[in-house]
Structure 1
């Protein structure tokens, strides 16, 4: 039997992530029972009692204290809302307990923004990690030295697992079920709960929003210019001239403000425009390519797949209902 412990910290919990993950383990237990075997997963909630607010009410989670848990095999960090620092400031005692458990052989897994709490243990240093793409900037602000990989659905290294946002967390739980119980059990959970078991990237779901939260008005002006001229074949030299800078100085300031090179930023803006077109129009791939300033279909396809994680045709088929 595997002892699976969900760490409930202070903060605003996202119930769907917690209960969804619990349900995957419960379906795995159901699969064992259908074969005449005892349940394999013992599910526990540890930390502090939490009164959870909902839109028109609330519910109470009754949690086991940490000293009642003893040794556990797996600790999962559910996701919390960032307005409360994801529970970091009030969870020092819990994180010390988690670190001690890890050094005794317990594996740790974070779901969505639960990665903030896992990162606060210091255990992710030098290891890849993932979280919801919308929380990426704040994560990098709090943990600038960590290797955050926003396109990843799942990362795994030395018994530490992290998941991207939303339903990506369920992909991580399925991954853990497959590791502990085998492919057949994981497929059963996937089919019953209708989860895409082998999804590996959250790139198709990322909305590129421009990275304008900085204090360089000249660079923000260039960003607006790029958005307004998305159909043109823009060059770095052209943009540098637009804001009366030489190329080297412009490139340096642009990357300092946005964390991307000007060329990468142009590609991201053009691909985001292409995504919107694929989602909302019936245009063919070549038409969209020309609309966003590309003249080479091979280059467009390669750039699109590199950023989005799937081909233009696959993206169009997945996100445009009219196709």
Structure 2
């Protein structure tokens, strides 16, 4: 059974506590209706037995206090409200608890501007993050060491998740349901909650920006070479020779610096360029394919769909206004 801890911060947005609890308890009910055992143990976790919200209009009574939780698999950080610096400060006692359980293997996910409290733990340092667009400047000012990605619905890296603003956190909840159960169960949850589901369709929102916050200069040069030559067919062997590094050592260094293998990086750079062309130009899919260095239609479509979750044609029709009405 997966243990899910939804923390109850002071100044939290009430719906961002209620909604995830409802989501995972509903999935338990779906499973029981199929004759299966419930999968999730969902608990509200607080610093005190009574947490007033919205200036006392609401009051939440957590199931347990932080010191009562000995083990958990997923910690959900609800959205905060009010002044963010103050909201983080009055909830600072959650920080060591979150860090401790993450070090023991728990995953951590923030909903909307719960990202401020998650970032205060340091777990997002050097990682990408999503939050509400309205708070982007303030977030960057408070946490310059975190890479905030504008407009992204879901960010996920090494068991740390964050979601975009307002109701888009439902997409993250569906993502987690699918991860912990199945695609079929996520679809059932989406239908029950009247949510649009297509986990893979979230991928088009992700704008690939190669990780360059490292000190390996030859690898940075290799990244820049790839990005400057999207129309060329570049092999890993050619890169290793060009930058005078043995192939195996080059692959290890590249992966360590960028979190991608050289081949993955080449593919993602090319597909990101293809996405932009499909969004904004009048070129058809074949023309775009050649422009980014592919001449095998099947291979291009396979890699494009693997990265974006959509075919090139579907992507063009969804994001290119002129193509949509063609």
TM-score (norm 2): 0.61
Number of the residue aligned with 2:33: 34
How far is 1:191 from its partner?
A: 0.7
How far is 1:85 from its partner?
A: 2.9
User: Given that residues 21 and 173 in structure 1 are in contact (C-alpha distance below 8 angstroms), is that contact kept between their aligned partners in structure 2?
Assistant: yes
Number of the residue aligned with 1:155: 155
User: Given that residues 16 and 78 in structure 2 are in contact (C-alpha distance below 8 angstroms), is that contact kept between their aligned partners in structure 1?
Assistant: yes
Number of the residue aligned with 1:51: 52
Counterpart CA distance in 2 for 1:170 and 1:315 is 27
How far is 1:145 from its partner?
A: 2.0
Number of the residue aligned with 2:170: 170
> Secondary structure of the equivalent of 1:88?
helix
User: Given that residues 79 and 112 in structure 1 are in contact (C-alpha distance below 8 angstroms), is that contact kept between their aligned partners in structure 2?
Assistant: yes
User: Given that residues 88 and 120 in structure 1 are in contact (C-alpha distance below 8 angstroms), is that contact kept between their aligned partners in structure 2?
Assistant: yes
How far is 1:164 from its partner?
A: 0.5
User: Given that residues 50 and 61 in structure 1 are in contact (C-alpha distance below 8 angstroms), is that contact kept between their aligned partners in structure 2?
Assistant: yes
Counterpart CA distance in 1 for 2:83 and 2:40 is 33
> Secondary structure of the equivalent of 1:122?
coil
CA change 1:85–1:315 in 2 (3 A) is farther
Counterpart CA distance in 2 for 1:166 and 1:16 is 10
CA change 1:315–1:82 in 2 (3 A) is farther
* Aligned pair partner of 1:310 in 304, 315, 319: 319
Number of the residue aligned with 2:22: 23
Counterpart CA distance in 2 for 1:177 and 1:86 is 32
Counterpart CA distance in 1 for 2:139 and 2:162 is 13
TM-score (norm 1): 0.61
> Secondary structure of the equivalent of 2:41?
strand
Counterpart CA distance in 2 for 1:315 and 1:51 is 48
> Secondary structure of the equivalent of 2:202?
coil
CA change 1:108–1:186 in 2 (3 A) is same
Number of the residue aligned with 1:184: 184
CA change 1:314–1:77 in 2 (3 A) is farther
Structure 1 residue runs without a partner (length 5+): 204-293, 317-323
Counterpart CA distance in 2 for 1:53 and 1:98 is 24
User: Given that residues 84 and 116 in structure 2 are in contact (C-alpha distance below 8 angstroms), is that contact kept between their aligned partners in structure 1?
Assistant: no
Number of the residue aligned with 2:266: none
Counterpart CA distance in 2 for 1:86 and 1:202 is 35
User: Given that residues 130 and 150 in structure 1 are in contact (C-alpha distance below 8 angstroms), is that contact kept between their aligned partners in structure 2?
Assistant: yes
> Secondary structure of the equivalent of 1:25?
helix
Counterpart CA distance in 2 for 1:90 and 1:169 is 23
How far is 1:87 from its partner?
A: 2.4
Counterpart CA distance in 1 for 2:197 and 2:5 is 22
Counterpart CA distance in 1 for 2:175 and 2:22 is 14
Number of the residue aligned with 2:94: 94
User: Given that residues 8 and 17 in structure 2 are in contact (C-alpha distance below 8 angstroms), is that contact kept between their aligned partners in structure 1?
Assistant: no
CA change 1:201–1:83 in 2 (3 A) is farther
Number of the residue aligned with 1:215: none
CA RMSD, Structure 1 to Structure 2 (Å): 2.9
Map 1:265-280 → 2, pairs under 5 A: none
Counterpart CA distance in 1 for 2:87 and 2:4 is 20
User: Given that residues 125 and 145 in structure 1 are in contact (C-alpha distance below 8 angstroms), is that contact kept between their aligned partners in structure 2?
Assistant: yes
Number of the residue aligned with 1:212: none
Counterpart CA distance in 1 for 2:323 and 2:16 is 28
Number of the residue aligned with 2:106: 106
1:77 is aligned to 2:81: no
Counterpart CA distance in 2 for 1:201 and 1:149 is 13
